[in-house]
Amino acid sequence: MAEPKTYHEQSYIDNTIKLREVLNTMPSFAKDYFRAIEPTTSARTRISYAYDIRVFFQFLLNENPAFKNYKMTDFRISDLENLTPVDIEEYQEYLKVYKADGRQITNEEKGLARKMSALRSFYGYFYKRQIIEKNPTLLVDMPKLHEKAIIRLETDEVASLLDYVENCGSKLTGQARVYYEKTKERDLAILTLLLGTGIRVSECVGLDIDDIDFKNNGIKVTRKGGNEMIVYFGDEVEKSLRSYLETTRKAVEPLPEYEKALFLSTQRRRMGVQAVENMVKKYAKRVTPNKKITPHKLRSTYGTSLYKETGDIYLVADVLGHKDVNTTKKHYAAIDEDRRRSAANVVKLREP
């Protein structure tokens, strides 16, 4: 019997197959670009780029009269360089609101920047290799990204969230109570792990039981790009993980291929990213209704707390798995809320 694949191995296979399916709907020359970026990108990144670039070709079919008789597979490489900067600017405007598969899609600054970055990279591949002589994307300004305040939980909110998960069952009845009792230890273990280590939600759902080392209180996670790293956890995380493993996880018989998975859904499969996101939102909105808390916000909460306690930005970058410490500085070494609050009373408008 073949050894079950890890979460990351299976994700790579699934995304590779998905990418091939998407590329079969696109112009044939697109395959050259995706083959070229394979060594330097993850499968997840490539599938995201494929969807983004397909939107560009769909825009040309829908909005540009020059291609009204085209199918998407009819585009030639020469069509790329025949487009003008104005065409690219029209595409950028189109991305703000458009329809796809009967749904209305909107892109704010971050989504807009990602799609334009994908298109510029796509053009850049053919331009650098002198397959095309003109690159109109270089003549169009990229969308400006404005800084947004980092949303995170305060120390008392962290305690309130965990207390709520532990005790909210007394307020539930019927099926809601049954479901809560089934998932309480698992949900508490996930929240404690995310808040106590700062790992990404994709790293969390990818964990196998064998990845936990209670002797050294560490977990083996697969970071972005496929690198493995040991992330250490404290006593509170250890207690929560042990409780989950000895109760809920021990009582569940996983479906075939999911025997090693640490966190299981009620369907006895490995939990997915969206399931964890929904779980976090479900509890958080009860405790902090004015904050949109996601697993990534729990990661920000951990990073902020670690920086406040240690003052070591390089340690924070290492633990969070940031390749560039400047990313960490940008988020966690800015003036914190406490200092900003203290500034409010420094300037006096009138003498008392």
- With pLDDT > 70 as the criterion, what percentage of the chain qualifies? 93
Task: Tell whether the torsion through CA atoms of 13, 18, 21 and 23 is positive or negative.
Answer: negative
For residues 136 and 87, the answer to whether their CB atoms sit within 8 Å is: yes
**Nearest partner of 124 among 143, 141, 144, 138, judged by Cα:** 138
For residues 53 and 125, the answer to whether their CB atoms sit within 8 Å is: no
| Side-chain-facing half-sphere of 300: CA atoms under 13 Å | 18
Q: Which two tokens stand for residue 336?
A: 């914190």
Contacts of 95 (CB under 8 A, 6+ apart): 55, 59, 107, 111, 112, 115, 116
The number of beta carbons lying within 10 Å of the beta carbon of residue 130 is: 7
- With pLDDT > 90 as the criterion, what percentage of the chain qualifies? 70
pLDDT at 131 (0 to 100): 97
* Burial of residue 289 (number of CB atoms within 10 Å: 0-12, 13-18, 19+): exposed
Contacts of 119 (CB under 8 A, 6+ apart): 52, 53, 56, 88, 91, 137
Per-residue pLDDT of 56-86, as tens digits, reads: 999 999 999 999 999 999 999 999 999 999 9
pLDDT at 86 (0 to 100): 97
pLDDT at 335 (0 to 100): 47
pLDDT at 225 (0 to 100): 72
Domain pair 7-139 / 155-334, same fold: no
User: What residue spans define the domains of the chain?
Assistant: 7-139, 155-334
The domain defined by 7-139 folds into DNA polymerase; domain 1 (1.10.150)
Task: Tell whether the torsion through CA atoms of 55, 105, 293 and 14 is positive or negative.
Answer: negative
pLDDT at 291 (0 to 100): 93
pLDDT at 197 (0 to 100): 95
Distance linking the first and last C-alpha atoms of the chain: 82
Give the Cα separation of 183 and 168 in Å (integer): 12
pLDDT at 350 (0 to 100): 64
Q: What are phi and psi of 202, to 5 degrees?
A: -65, -35
pLDDT at 137 (0 to 100): 96
CATH tag for 155-334 (out of 1.10.760.10, 3.40.190.10, 1.10.443.10, 3.20.20.80) = 1.10.443.10
Q: What are phi and psi of 228, to 5 degrees?
A: -95, 145
Per-residue pLDDT of 291-346, as tens digits, reads: 999 999 999 999 989 988 888 888 888 898 888 888 787 777 654 555 555 555 55
pLDDT at 47 (0 to 100): 93
- The low-confidence residues of the chain, meaning pLDDT below 50, are 335
Give the Cα separation of 187 and 180 in Å (integer): 9
